[in-house]
C-alpha cells in the first residue's frame, strides 16, 4: 500500500500513502485504503499509550468519506479523543495534497495485558 509513517507519539501520529495503487476501478482512492491508513495510525498510537506488557486491540472502526482523492498522496493525522486505562479512542483526519479533508476515521481500541 506504500504507507509511510512520518510521526508517531501518544499524542499524534502522522502517516501518508500514495493514491496510485490504492484506487477502486474508477480511479478514486479506495475507501478501504483510507481506513487502512486510519486504523494503522490509531492502533500504533494506542499501542504506545498502552505501554510495556500491554497491547491495543481494535474493537470498532468507522469512516466517513467526504472527498475522493484521484492522484498524489493522502496524509492522515491521528489525535486522541480518549486515552484511558482500558480503552482509547482516536480520530484520524485524512487529507489530499491540497489539504482538503477526504475521510474522517474513528477507531476504538481495548487495552489488554499481554499474555
Catalytic residues: 39
Contact 43, 80 (CB under 8 A): no
User: Which cell numbers hold the place of 104?
Assistant: 474522517
* One-character DSSP codes across 27-80: SSBPHHHHHHHHHHHHHHHHHHHH-TTEEEEEEEEEEEE-----SSEEEEEEEE
Amino acid at each position: 500500500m506504500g504507507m509511510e509513517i512520518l510521526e508517531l507519539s501518544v499524542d499524534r501520529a502522522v502517516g501518508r500513502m500514495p493514491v496510485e495503487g490504492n484506487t477502486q476501478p474508477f480511479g478514486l482512492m479506495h475507501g478501504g485504503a483510507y481506513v487502512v491508513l486510519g486504523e494503522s495510525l490509531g492502533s500504533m498510537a494506542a499501542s504506545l499509550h498502552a505501554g510495556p506488557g500491554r497491547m491495543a486491540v481494535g474493537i470498532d472502526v468507522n469512516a466517513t468519506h467526504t472527498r475522493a482523492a484521484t492522484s498524489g498522496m493522502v496524509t492522515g493525522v491521528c489525535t486522541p479523543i480518549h486515552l484511558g486505562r482500558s480503552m482509547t479512542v482516536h480520530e484520524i483526519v485524512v487529507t489530499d495534497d491540497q489539504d482538503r479533508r477526504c475521510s474522517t476515521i474513528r477507531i476504538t481500541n481495548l487495552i489488554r495485558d499481554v499474555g
